[in-house]
Amino acid sequence: MTILDLSIKHVTGHAESGSMKIDELKIEKPDSADTKGIKRAEMPQVAAKDYPEFIDYLKANGADFTKLVMPANQLKATQGEFSKDGVERQLAKMQAGTPKKPVIASQDNYIIDGHHRWLVAMNTRDSVEVFKIDIDADELLDLVRKFPKVTYKDIYTEELYDFNKDEPNKSIVAVPGYGTMSIDGLTKNVIDQATELVKQMSQGTQGIRNADYQLNKNKVLPAKVGALVQALDDLQAIRSKGGARSRNIQQENEQQEELPIDTNAIFNYIQRLESGQNIEPQDADLMRRGIQSLTADRQTLNPQAILQLLTMLTG
């Protein structure tokens, strides 16, 4: 075992049972030689909200699982890298009493997802809740990587898949259910896809129905937007810590000029299209209702951005 450079003071309770007071905790991590040595960025992550779908995915692929509680020292690490931030986050969750996501482990007791939860439990001599799957580690790892909603984390940022300190905007982002892209590439992709969506909507009913599918059923665009915003937040978090890694990250302008929204201009543009017989009256009405729905107080995909884009197109 080696010591991870982390001292936590005034931690109260076991990671799982809450029965022990710790004034200072030195985190011991396994030597990489005692693990399978896989890099953190290559280890699949499954979000708690996706567990029901993940279990169905495993069953559909012939796997079965048992939910049980195991002493942490009976499990083995698959990855050979551990994040100080990851450990701190798990300790903070422990102190806050946040519900814990089960660790995913193979038939031969290797951890597939949940290494930092396990590491905290190991160092507090506690147990962990486990989804134990009846497949050996190497085969299970391949199967989990193919789950459509799997994501990846770098040991430094805990969110970015691969951080590029020389060109931060070329850092790689994992988009759940889609794959990985650079921040610059993802930004361009989101803008291109949103612009195409607006063009389709201006062509009539079928375009609006397609937009509804893209935003509310397929949900690839919302997933990309969410991943992009998270990546930008991650860059600012790295910048705030200072040091050599943050040198090339530009500070976001907190006083950015608000882009205009002019729904009257949008309605006038729709009226001109209708008057010029470029669109049918029923399509024009559908477009008006669509704009009205974006201004309503309800959940939708960033209506502010869509209205701003439409305003600029009609200006």
Hey, how many other C-beta atoms are within 10 angstroms of the C-beta on 260? 11
Token reading at 230: 């998270």
Strand partners, 44: none
In the chain, the largest separation of any two C-alpha atoms, in whole Å, equals 76
Instruction: Give SS3 for 129.
Output: strand
The predicted structure's pLDDT at residue 307: 62
Strand partners, 162: 172
Token reading at 294: 């974006």
The predicted structure's pLDDT at residue 106: 95
| β-pairing verdict for 111-113 and 2-12 | unpaired
pLDDT tens-place values along the chain, 315 residues long: 444 444 444 344 444 444 444 445 677 888 777 888 887 777 888 877 788 898 899 999 999 888 999 999 999 999 888 776 677 777 777 766 666 788 999 999 999 988 888 988 888 888 999 999 999 999 999 999 888 877 766 554 445 556 777 888 888 887 765 667 788 888 888 888 888 888 888 888 888 888 888 777 777 788 788 888 888 888 887 777 777 767 788 776 544 455 567 888 888 888 888 888 888 888 778 777 777 766 665 545 555 555 655 665 666
**Cα distances (Å, whole numbers) of residue 245 to 129, 137, 165, 233, 240:** 36, 34, 5, 15, 10
| β-pairing verdict for 21-29 and 111-113 | unpaired
Number of Cα atoms under 13 Å in the Cβ half of residue 81: 13
**CA torsion angle 155 161 162 165 (round to 10):** -80
In the block, residue with structure tokens 């169905």: 56
Token reading at 135: 């497949």
Residue type, position 85, single letter:
D
> Which candidate, 153, 151, 131, 179, places its Cα nearest to that of 79?
153
**CA torsion angle 138 141 143 145 (round to 10):** -140
- Calpha distance 315→197 (Å, rounded): 18
Q: What share of the chain is helix, strand, coil (3-state, %, to 5)?
A: 50, 15, 35
Taken as a whole, the chain contains a residue count of: 315
Contacting residues for 75 by C-beta, under 8 A, at least 6 apart:
103, 105, 109, 110, 111, 118, 128, 130
- Calpha distance 108→314 (Å, rounded): 62
